[in-house]
Amino acid sequence: MRNNRWLAAAALAACVWLAGCADDASPAPPPPEVEVVTVRPQPIANVIELPGRVQAIRTAEVRARVDGIIERRLFDEGTDVKAGQALFAIDPREMTAALNAAQAALARAQATSANAAQDLQRYDGLIADQAISKQEYDAAVARLGTAQADVDQARAQVESARLSLGYATVRAPIAGRAGRAQVTEGALVSASQGTLLTTIEQIDSIYVNFSQSSSDLLAIRRDIAGGKLHIPELGRWDVKLILEDGTTYDQIGHIDFLDLSIDEATGTAALRAEFPNPRQLLLPGQFVRAQIGAGTRANGILVPQRAVTVTEAGGSVFVIGAKDVAEARIVKLGGIQGGSWVIEDGLRAGDRVVVSGLQGVRPGQPVRIASAPPKEAARKAAGSQ
């Protein structure tokens, strides 16, 4: 009898313990709540970003055109100079002596020519009276022709000597910013070696040189041929510049040159854009990044930046598939436009991309899509475009 009561008490305790265990079991966590945008292809600007270097629109190397000794520097280094402004003075004494000698030779040749002309004038009357032979007359005509040729030669030598004397004053061939002087007073300069004196650069407008890989150019040409990309005329390609400090240059440039050949050493094609530079903010040799507006993509895809995870391997997003199950998707990223990534590959129309609540999302696990008021949903959709 006592044993039966003990067994009943043990059974009751076991039931109570099992019930307690059942109460302690926690329920499964609910699916994480996320917000999504639906991919809708639309026309978007095709922006290509490339590194580039700034180049002066015109550069003139000022070199010696005569031999001599530099007497004076006539400009301030690093200042603006005008076309024709005197920059250097070369000792002119040797060129002056050469000019005087050439002028003396010209005077002698002119005197000889005048004498030959008088002889021929006298011979004109004598040959009519047959007082001289035809041979003597022909010789007089030849002497006059030779004397006149000597005059022309001497006159050319005078002009050459005068030019050399003018080159003793070295003048600026163009207007612009003069660089550092490469010679000092007392330096011997040579015309045959083309001694560099200084450099002048025009930077009121500026060139930016950059290059595009042949594979990217091939992809662009294929997109154009396939109708995916609409390209304007070459002179209408707008270009923006991102400066070294990350700011955007406030002037818009345009592509003015595209090389039709590929550099064998680098596998790239050269491009060049021209920019106004009224405040001379851009300087030759400066590093910039160019954003080229290369047409419009008819069916482009934009995804908010917060939806994209970027790693060294590339970009990825979470896409909600059938039965609201999350799927990790690798995407090919283009540039950034208005706070959104341009997706070049990996997404298609109708895909639902997670833009909020990414922390709790796991591949292959279901999620719960948050419902947004109609106006809010419209705003989010507009923000993704």
Q: Provide, rounded to the nearest whole percent, the portion of the chain with pLDDT above 70.
A: 87
Give pLDDT, residue 382.
45
Span 218-233, average pLDDT: 78
Q: Which range, 6-15, 87-96, 215-224, is most confident?
A: 87-96
How many angstroms separate the CA atoms of 41 and 58, rounded? 44
Reply yes or no on whether the pLDDT at 163 is more than 90.
yes
Q: What is the pLDDT of residue 261?
A: 87
Q: Which of 219-223, 242-246, 285-289 has the lowest mean pLDDT?
A: 219-223
Res 130: pLDDT:
72
Q: Is the pTM higher than 0.75?
A: no
- pLDDT band with cut points at 50, 70 and 90 for residue 13: very low
Q: List pLDDT tens digits, range 36-94.
A: 998 998 888 888 889 999 999 999 999 999 999 999 999 999 999 999 999 999 999 99
Tell me, rounded to whole angstroms, the distance of Cα 148 from its chain centroid: 58
pLDDT at 239 over 60: yes
The proportion of the chain whose per-residue pLDDT surpasses 90, expressed as a percent, equals 44
Query: Which has more pLDDT, 344 or 74?
Result: 74
What pLDDT is attached to residue 180?
95
pLDDT at site 137: 76
Does the pLDDT of residue 104 top 80, yes or no?
A: yes
- Residue 280's nearest CA partner among 207, 199, 205 is 205
